[in-house]
Amino acid sequence: MKFEIFGKDYNVSDSLKAITEKKCAKLDKYFHDDADATAKFIVTLEGGTYTTDMTVVYRSQTYRAEASSDSPFDNIDLVIPRLLGQIRKQKDIWGKTKRGSENVYEEEADEE
């Protein structure tokens, strides 16, 4: 999984990058260390409030979560569980089988 961390009006520190990558290790079990998965973090500072936007793109699926607070470190703790919830929900939907029995049609004999 690739990580990209950007800052708008904010210089992202090395400690924030390290903590983000460490906490995103929870996502590896869903993507199986696939090189196609990309996690993109955008940290924005506006008037004393930090907004963290996380987007994960995996094959044709896109997952996105956003959080705002006074600390960018707190935002990571809010964003990752939201994203994990979306991934779990999507995985459950794909894993379910349809209800009911299969439609079995008998062939009709041609009467001549």
- Tens of pLDDT, residue by residue over 93-110, are 766 666 666 667 777 766
pLDDT for 15 beyond 90: yes
Q: And the tokens for 99? A: 């209800």
pLDDT reported for residue 98: 63
pTM: 0.74
Model pLDDT for residues 19-69, shown as the tens digit of each residue: 998 988 888 888 776 678 888 999 999 998 999 999 998 888 899 999 999
Task: Write out the DSSP string of 55-75.
Answer: EEEETTEEEEEEEEES-HHHH
